[in-house]
């Protein structure tokens, strides 16, 4: 880890250990409480499973993993941190 980094929002040069930055850690995951599955016949379910297997075969392991779970880290300068805090989903 170097002593310098940049704000991921405004590009300002920042120095670690000088209270110049915040590290935002974001964890996203797919809705774990999906219970409202459509009322399908056994044939439709088999067809859907086949379709999902075909679809999965065309995607990389990373793409499949990111559909379920993703984590990322954002470094922000003090000014950008306070702006982000006021509207984190903006």
Q: How far is the CB of 34 from Zn ion (least distance, A)?
A: 37
Interface residues toward Zn ion, by CB under 5 A: 7, 9-10, 12, 77, 80
Nearest residue (CB) to Zn ion, 12 versus 66:
12
Residue 49: how many CA atoms within 13 Å on its side-chain side? Answer: 7
Q: Are 52 and 60 in contact (CB under 8 A)?
A: no
A 10 A CB-CB count for 47 gives 12
CB of residue 8 vs Zn ion: minimum separation in angstroms?
Answer: 8
Ramachandran angles phi, psi of 79, nearest 5°:
-65, -45
Give the DSSP H/E element, type plus range, for residue 83. helix 78-86
Task: Return the number of the residue (64 or 72) whose C-beta is nearest Zn ion.
Answer: 72
What's the closest the beta carbon of residue 10 comes to Zn ion, in angstroms?
A: 3
Q: Which is nearer to Zn ion, 9 or 16 (CB)?
A: 9
């Amino acid at each position: 880890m170097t002593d310098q980094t940049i704000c991921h929002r405004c590009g300002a040069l920042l120095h670690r250990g000088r209270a110049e930055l915040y590290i935002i850690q974001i964890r996203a995951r797919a809705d774990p409480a999906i219970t409202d599955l459509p009322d399908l016949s056994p044939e439709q379910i088999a067809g859907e499973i086949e379709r999902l297997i075909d679809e999965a075969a065309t995607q990389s392991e990373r793409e499949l993993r990111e559909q379920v779970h993703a984590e990322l880290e954002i470094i922000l300068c003090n000014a950008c941190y306070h702006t982000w805090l006021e509207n984190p989903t903006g």
